Structure 1
Amino acid sequence: MKLKILKFLTVSLLTLIVLSPELVVLSVVWEQHMQLVETQNFMCEKNPSIASSQNAPAMIFQQERKKSTQDLVGIKIFDTNLLKSQLFLIQLYKYKIISFFKWFFLLFPICLGILIFLYDRYLVYRATVFQRQVDILEKLWHESIEQ
Structure 2
Amino acid sequence: MSGVGGPRRSEEDSAPIRTPAVVALAVLLLAEGVALVVITVVLIVETFTAPSTSITSAIALAVCAGIAAAAILAAGRATLHAAKWVRAFAFTAVIVQAFVGLYAFQGPQPRPDVGAALVVPALAILILLFTPSVIEATRRN
**Both structures adopt the same fold (TM-score exceeding 0.5):** no
| TM-score normalised by structure 2 residue count | 0.29
The structure having more radius of gyration, on CA atoms, is: 1
Higher helix share: 1
| TM-score normalised by structure 1 residue count | 0.28
**Greater RCO structure (CA 8 Å; 6+ sep):** 1
